[in-house]
Amino acid sequence: MRGNVVDLAVGVVIGAAFGNVVQSVVDNFINPLIGIFGGGPSLTDWAIPVAGATIRIGVILNTLISFMLIAAVVYFLVVLPVNKLMDHYRPEPKPAPTKECPECLSAIPQDARRCRECGAQLAPPSEAVAAAMRQVASPSGAVIAD
């Protein structure tokens, strides 16, 4: 249990550091490149004045680019490799044992007493089921033929 807590703490610290690195790359490399094509010095300078307020579209785009980069790195460097590793060690599912119905020749589970396709009775009902059927047929307890 302690190992899992330590692993989680290390993951949080590394994730925060990685987020800072990605933010720096976006701020200092990607934003100036986008700003060159947008006619300004940086992407973060893009703003729209609306009714005396300023909507800073550049900051929003900056945050979205950072998020997309972090999500892509986590997906391609963590999620996909772990899924491939788990698939490698996952056991193959065993098919359920089946038998063939003598009436309709469909495949049914090995322990089935009736065929699910045609309703043919393959084995007599268990004693508990037979007792319940007798009770329903004659609630007074009178003996009736099976």
Regarding whether 31 and 13 lie in a shared domain, the answer is yes
The answer on pLDDT for 142 being more than 70 is no
pLDDT of residue 110: 84
End residue of a domain, out of 50, 67, 89? 89
Regarding whether 105 and 71 lie in a shared domain, the answer is no
pLDDT of residue 106: 85
The answer on pLDDT for 145 being more than 70 is no
Residue numbers of the domain that contains 114 = 98-137
Torsion angles phi and psi, residue 21, rounded to 5: -65, -45
The answer on pLDDT for 144 being more than 70 is no
List Cβ<8 Å contacts ≥24 apart for 105-108.
Answer: none
11-60 residue pLDDT tens: 788 888 888 888 888 888 888 887 777 667 777 777 888 888 888 888 88
Per-chain mean pLDDT for the chain: 80
Which of these ranges, 86-95, 118-127, 136-145, has the smallest mean pLDDT? Answer: 136-145
In a domain? residue 142 = no
d(CA 102, CA 122): 8
Regarding whether 113 and 80 lie in a shared domain, the answer is no
Regarding whether 12 and 47 lie in a shared domain, the answer is yes
pTM comes to 0.52
The answer on pLDDT for 89 being more than 80 is yes
Tally the C-alpha atoms within 13 A of residue 128's C-alpha that lie toward its C-beta: 0
Q: Residue for token digits 């999500």? A: 71
In a domain? residue 111 = yes
